[in-house]
Amino acid sequence: MSSASDDWQRPRPGAAGYRRDAIAAAALAGATFLSWLLFSSAMTAQSHAPWWGGAIFSVLVAGSLAFRRRWPEIVALVVAVTFVVGQYSGIWEQLFNNICLFIALYTVGAWGRNRTLATALRILISVGMLLWLAGVLIFQALNPDIAPEVSRDGPLSQFAAIGLIQIVTNLLYFGGAYVFGNAAWASARQREALEQRTLELEREREVSSRQAVELERSRIARELHDVVAHHVSVMGLQAGAARRVLERGPAGAAVDPRAVQALSVIEENGREAVDELQRMLGALRERGDDPSTTASTRGIAQLDELVDEARAAGLPVTFSTVGAERPVPTAIGLTVYRLAQESLTNVRKHAGPRATADVRLRFLADAVELEVSDTGAGAGASSPGGPAGGTGGAHLGQIGMRERVAAAGGELELGPKPRGGYRVRARLPLSPSAPGPAAGTEARAGSEAPAGFEAPAGTGATAGTGAPAGTGATAGADTPKETA
Q: How many domains does the chain have?
A: 3
- State residue 184 phi and psi, 5-degree precision: -65, -40
Q: Which amino acid is at 339?
A: L
Query: Domain residues for 48?
Result: 15-149
User: Does 481 reside within a domain?
Assistant: no
Half-sphere exposure of 398 (CA within 13 A, CB side): 20
DSSP 70-92: TSHHHHHHHHHHHHHHHHHTT--
Do 134 and 81 sit in the same domain of this protein? yes
Residue 411: CATH number of its domain: 3.30.565.10
Q: What pTM does this model have?
A: 0.48
Over 80: is that where the pLDDT of 194 sits?
yes
* Secondary structure letter of residue 379 according to DSSP: T
Do 319 and 266 sit in the same domain of this protein? no
Do 129 and 49 sit in the same domain of this protein? yes
User: Does 37 reside within a domain?
Assistant: yes
User: Does 435 reside within a domain?
Assistant: no
Do 272 and 334 sit in the same domain of this protein? no
* Least confident span in 17-21, 27-31, 437-441: 437-441
User: Does 479 reside within a domain?
Assistant: no
User: Does 185 reside within a domain?
Assistant: no
pLDDT at 230: 60
User: Does 372 reside within a domain?
Assistant: yes
Do 369 and 339 sit in the same domain of this protein? yes
Strands (E), 277-403: 317-322, 357-363, 367-374
User: Does 382 reside within a domain?
Assistant: no
Do 266 and 315 sit in the same domain of this protein? no
DSSP 417-470: -TTSSEEEEEEEESS-----PPTT-PPPTT-PPPTT--PPTTS---TT--PPTT
Do 35 and 124 sit in the same domain of this protein? yes
Do 228 and 352 sit in the same domain of this protein? no
Do 229 and 314 sit in the same domain of this protein? no
Do 26 and 136 sit in the same domain of this protein? yes
**pLDDT, tens digit (0-9, with 9 covering 90-100), for 454-478:** 333 333 433 333 333 333 333 333 3
DSSP 100-155: HHHHHHHHHHHH-SSHHHHHHHHHHHHHHHHHHHHHHHHHHHH-TTSSTTS---ST
How many other β-carbons are positioned within 10 Å of the β-carbon of residue 247?
11
Nearest-angstrom CA–CA distance, 152 and 150:
6
Do 230 and 278 sit in the same domain of this protein? yes
pLDDT at 2: 41
pLDDT at 43: 65
Do 137 and 67 sit in the same domain of this protein? yes
**pLDDT, tens digit (0-9, with 9 covering 90-100), for 90-126:** 787 888 989 999 999 999 999 998 899 999 999 999 9
Helix axes 96-111, 72-88, angle to 10 degrees: 160
Q: Which amino acid is at 16?
A: A
User: Does 136 reside within a domain?
Assistant: yes
Percent of the chain with pLDDT over 70: 72
Please give the mean pLDDT across all residues of the chain: 76
How many other β-carbons are positioned within 10 Å of the β-carbon of residue 424?
27
**pLDDT, tens digit (0-9, with 9 covering 90-100), for 402-415:** 888 988 889 999 99
